[in-house]
Structure 1
């Protein structure tokens, strides 16, 4: 049991050190996101704070796990197990939410981004995406040119009048193509953009959103799959950590309150009904505990066993009565 307990402690310490590094990285990423005003506003200010909170929670969990495994203290291991279970539930909820968002995007794409076909809760979620896209679109002041001659590596060329949003222009060029494939009759892009679309007209927000439709859906799909696999692995790892922490707490309790052999010195009782103490021991005389008793010093009969003498006297009296 000592070997298993040592192995469990080592695994807990090593794994929680990794979680400590992960939490530190998340806090650093959240701080970097806060330092970028454009990115903070694009994410509506909630992503950076969420990342920092998640990183801080992971750091607290890692510290509790390391201290509990090192000192085998229930004070640290019990709240550590509770926090890990809460983290498992939160991660499973996040995976389910991302899967639901993916299915909502696929459904609304079939109806050319008509949000009225969705449930009110799904409309609210996708309206948030549209608001963020609209904010970046107008904050960038994007200017889009479509070149189908093949002179450039990409048919869509974008630029931003606001240098703080220059990253959005590169994002549009890479992920929102408008080429010969998208301009074919019956393509998803033309269905979304509507019959009024023309290359001679200026690029509108809705048209650019339609151009990014396929990439948005595929990106969310890829991220959902990645998050699902990541969450599944992390959940299994955290369940193992909870089991190990419970084992360490149980083994500590067993060692502290388990069976312990108690050895007490055995002392001869001075007044017990044993024959050697029939009339009490005389002063200055003692015998080993395991030695055969001698009766030379007990009673008036010298070396005679008092029990034998008493029995003989009883027989003599009976014989006298019969006579």
Structure 2
């Protein structure tokens, strides 16, 4: 019973925290999506794409947290079994994405280049995403082949320097911060500089998910034994 109590306590604490965090993330995502202008929180700014990511992540977290808490509260092996299955699928998907990334990309820089090259700057949401990146990391355009001056004057990316002598620029080009570093370099540098933190967060999430799998499985087995099913 000691193991059962420990597992139940973990399921309560972990999934309650997951549910609250998911609810907060979902709320922020909906708020950003319905906002008439780009939202800035601290040093981070969010566009429509970022809002959708927050909504999906928050919804998944809320569902998982609710199932975990409800299963532990009611000592229902069916709910805990569903929770275990969904969490296992989530872990498998994360591992699959990690393997896919390792196979398809030789470096962080290559992965960043592929992701940024997929942006369509004629699309408003993608243009806002690049704008957010450029403002936060102090960069201009996707890579060094972009016409920084054209991007600046068209307002596709804020803060670009008018360094292309073949493009006619007016005096407004000199106003505000001027960024000459391409964003693929800036994003790659940001990730590599913070790789330990990112890896630490990933490991912590992975360990919590593994504990969730173990404890939910233990609770299911104990409930079945308690009810005389095993």
Q: Judge same fold: TM > 0.5, yes or no.
A: yes
Given that 2:116 and 2:184 are in contact with CA atoms closer than 8 Å, whether structure 1 keeps it comes out as: no
The secondary structure found in structure 2 opposite 1:257 is coil
CA separation in 2, counterparts of 1:60 and 1:95? 24
What corresponds to 2:89 in structure 1?
86
1:214 deviates by 3.3
Instruction: Tell me if 1:250 matches 2:221.
Output: yes
Q: 1:98 to 1:36 in 2, by over 3 A?
A: farther
- For residues 280-311 of structure 1, what are the alpha-carbon distances to aligned partners after superposition, in whole Å with 9 as ceiling and x for unaligned? xxxxxxxxxxxxxxxxxxxxxxxxxxxxxxxx
1:35 deviates by 2.5
Q: 1:221 to 1:32 in 2, by over 3 A?
A: farther
Larger Rg: 1
What corresponds to 2:116 in structure 1?
126
Q: 1:28 to 1:20 in 2, by over 3 A?
A: same
CA separation in 2, counterparts of 1:10 and 1:83? 20
Q: 1:98 to 1:46 in 2, by over 3 A?
A: farther
Given that 1:9 and 1:248 are in contact with CA atoms closer than 8 Å, whether structure 2 keeps it comes out as: yes
Q: In structure 1, list runs of 5 or more residues that go unmatched.
A: 109-121, 140-164, 178-187, 260-323
Equivalent of residue 102 in structure 1, options 89, 103, 108: 108
Per residue, is there more helix in 1 or in 2? 2
Q: 1:105 to 1:8 in 2, by over 3 A?
A: closer
Q: In structure 2, list runs of 5 or more residues that go unmatched.
A: 40-44, 149-162
Given that 2:15 and 2:65 are in contact with CA atoms closer than 8 Å, whether structure 1 keeps it comes out as: yes
Higher relative contact order (CA 8 A, sep 6+): 2
Given that 1:27 and 1:52 are in contact with CA atoms closer than 8 Å, whether structure 2 keeps it comes out as: yes
Given that 1:98 and 1:224 are in contact with CA atoms closer than 8 Å, whether structure 2 keeps it comes out as: no
* Superposition RMSD in Å: 4.2
CA separation in 2, counterparts of 1:136 and 1:58? 26
What corresponds to 1:235 in structure 2?
206
Q: How many residues align?
A: 196
Given that 2:19 and 2:61 are in contact with CA atoms closer than 8 Å, whether structure 1 keeps it comes out as: yes
CA separation in 2, counterparts of 1:29 and 1:222? 27
1:5 deviates by 1.0
- For residues 246-303 of structure 1, what are the alpha-carbon distances to aligned partners after superposition, in whole Å with 9 as ceiling and x for unaligned? 11111122222289xxxxxxxxxxxxxxxxxxxxxxxxxxxxxxxxxxxxxxxxxxxx
CA separation in 1, counterparts of 2:197 and 2:100? 14
Given that 1:20 and 1:63 are in contact with CA atoms closer than 8 Å, whether structure 2 keeps it comes out as: yes
Given that 1:61 and 1:84 are in contact with CA atoms closer than 8 Å, whether structure 2 keeps it comes out as: yes
- For residues 158-216 of structure 1, what are the alpha-carbon distances to aligned partners after superposition, in whole Å with 9 as ceiling and x for unaligned? xxxxxxx8x788x27x6139xxxxxxxxxx979x98xx84599646xxx9674445322
1:220 deviates by 3.8
CA separation in 2, counterparts of 1:231 and 1:64? 23
Given that 2:138 and 2:179 are in contact with CA atoms closer than 8 Å, whether structure 1 keeps it comes out as: no
- For residues 101-157 of structure 1, what are the alpha-carbon distances to aligned partners after superposition, in whole Å with 9 as ceiling and x for unaligned? 833167x6xxxxxxxxxxxxx4xx4333362798359x9xxxxxxxxxxxxxxxxxx
CA separation in 2, counterparts of 1:198 and 1:69? 67
1:243 deviates by 0.8
Given that 1:95 and 1:231 are in contact with CA atoms closer than 8 Å, whether structure 2 keeps it comes out as: no
What corresponds to 1:75 in structure 2?
78
CA separation in 1, counterparts of 2:55 and 2:126? 26
Instruction: Tell me if 1:47 matches 2:50.
Output: yes
